[in-house]
Amino acid sequence: MTAQLPSTGILTEDMRRVVREQRLGFVATVCPDGTPNLSPEGTTAVWDDEHLVFADLRSPRTVANLGSNPAVEVNVVDPFARTGYRFKGAATVLTEGALFEDILGFYEHGEAPVRDARARIRHVVLIRVEQALPLVSPAYDLGLTEEAIRTSWWDHFESRRSRRGRKYIVQVRNGSSVGC
């Protein structure tokens, strides 16, 4: 049986879509000395209408911070459209129990499974979203359309990829070592 949590439905369908499509959330926590900590979490997912979740694969500082201060913000952004959402709330770190097992099962068999989830996931972090706000690039202030912004960023990344490819070919031809 799946553990159910009470729902207020703060997450809209568009928010759910962006999180589902992007999966990479930038999770901000507060260190014990008051300084910020930012951790990219590639397992960010919607759990239900008011909760996000991510799996701790290699985020010991983030989990430790949440243990002493559950305040968290997660930003999920489409890097080409330059839009997304910021989610603020309180996190709960889970290591066992029915809800932990349900979330672990999601990471084993869900829409974006984690390879060797049971062996690799140390904790799961469940975030009750208390506030959700849009993130929108200032490029839209210039009257640019989403299509124009997407095209500009696709072109940018394509030119970067092309340059890297040429650099790799030159290094191989010159006998230079190429790192991974």
4-36 pLDDT per residue, tens:
555 558 999 999 999 999 999 999 999 999 999
Count CA atoms within 13 Å of residue 72 on its CB side: 31
Rounded to whole angstroms, what are the CA distances from 44 to 54, 98, 140, 166, 174? 5, 20, 26, 34, 42
Cβ neighbours around 126 below 10 Å, total: 21
Mean pLDDT of 89-107: 97
Distance of CA 135 to the CA centre of its chain: 14
Q: Whole-prediction pTM value?
A: 0.84
Mean pLDDT of 102-131: 95
User: Which has more pLDDT, 177 or 78?
Assistant: 78
Element (H, E) at 116: none
- pLDDT-derived band of residue 56, with 50, 70 and 90 as boundaries? very high
Level-2 CATH architecture, domain 13-136: Roll (2.30)
- For residue 59, pLDDT over 60 is answered with yes
Residues 54 and 41: beta-carbon distance below 8 Å: yes
Q: Domain spans of the chain?
A: 13-136, 143-180
